[in-house]
Amino acid sequence: MVTLKDIESAHERIRPFIHRTPILTNSSLNKLSGAELFFKCENFQRAGSFKIRGATNTVELLTDTEFSQGVATTSSGNHGAALSMAVSRRGGTTKVVMPHNTPKIKVNNVKRNGGEVVWCEPDQKFRESVLRKVVEETGATVVHPYNDERIMAGQGTCAKEMIEDIPILDCIVSPVSGGGLLSGTLIAAKNMKNTINIYGAEPKEADDAYQSLKYGKIIPNKTINTICDGLRAEIGSKTFPVIQNLVDEIIPVSEKDIIDSLQMIWERMKIIVEPSCSISLAMVLKNKKLFKDKNVGLIMSGGNIDLNKLPWM
């Protein structure tokens, strides 16, 4: 079980290698929501998302022997880019298995951060088999994007910073996908401030965490037909029990609300965030009663978005 102490240790370990990201406010969005909103800007984080926290924590914990054989992953998204950056910084190599049809922006994100692309056919089974082959041939260590206690502890450092910087927070809203960020947030926040409420925001179109909570067991996604490319993963066996135990509520959000709130953040705050984090604002705006007059922390988890394909166009 990950503890607050693990998160504190992770924070000491990764501190030299990550940004302590700023927390922004916006008076027009406060007015619109009826709450005081505090946006934790992980879109300004290294490699463009909070994922560098867990990735750096895990990479730093690898032994020299493990590390010398390289690191591998099938994540072509923010985890792949962050892992590549963390590994490059320590002086190693990351092999990222991704299908031929991966969008160019994701390929570039991985390459720019020093990752090496291993191509495969576009089907999950090929990704897994190619990854296995890489591991067999090189002895590389696979770093899972969320179902790993080192990752969960690293992601928890984000909420720790939020509570340190804004002690008056009444609640935090975190997007939920595989559950790494949400479980880390829960462990950090609930142990640092026992009155705080923690909510997960999840796309209606990929609501496995909501369903799993409802039925008391892990239920796979029925669809992943969401614009939030960072929120299509399935809740993990290590993250789900933490969420089940500690979360106040997981609330599903429609695609339209996610896109509307994305445009709102861009226009009013002048910052670039992904749909995978505008979902938190969308959830607050659709549940105003729940947040009325509260001090609400929202994790703006990342800013990696294809600027040639904006969802409102």
Site residues for its own copies per CB under 8 A = 22, 24, 43-44, 48, 263, 266-267, 269-273, 303, 307-308, 310, 312-313
Residue type, 66: E
b/e map of 45-83 (b: 16 or more CB within 10 Å)? bbbbbbbbbbbbbbbbebeeeebeebbbbbbbbbbbbbb
Give the nearer residue to its own copies in terms of CB position, either 7 or 305.
Answer: 305
Give the nearer residue to its own copies in terms of CB position, either 215 or 313.
Answer: 313
Residue 258 CB, nearest approach to its own copies (Å) = 16
Give the nearer residue to its own copies in terms of CB position, either 107 or 213.
Answer: 107
Long-range (24+ apart) CB contacts under 8 A made by 130-134 are 130/97, 131/72, 131/73, 131/74, 131/97, 134/72, 134/95, 134/97
Give the nearer residue to its own copies in terms of CB position, either 161 or 207.
Answer: 161
Residue 183 CB, nearest approach to its own copies (Å) = 26
Give the integer Cα–Cα distance in Å for 171 and 203: 20
Residue 292 CB, nearest approach to its own copies (Å) = 24
Give the integer Cα–Cα distance in Å for 186 and 56: 20
Give the nearer residue to its own copies in terms of CB position, either 93 or 113.
Answer: 113
Residue 50 CB, nearest approach to its own copies (Å) = 13
Residue 15 CB, nearest approach to its own copies (Å) = 17
Estimate to the nearest angstrom the gap between the alpha carbon of 65 and the chain centroid.
Answer: 29
β-strand pairing of 36-41 with 171-175: unpaired
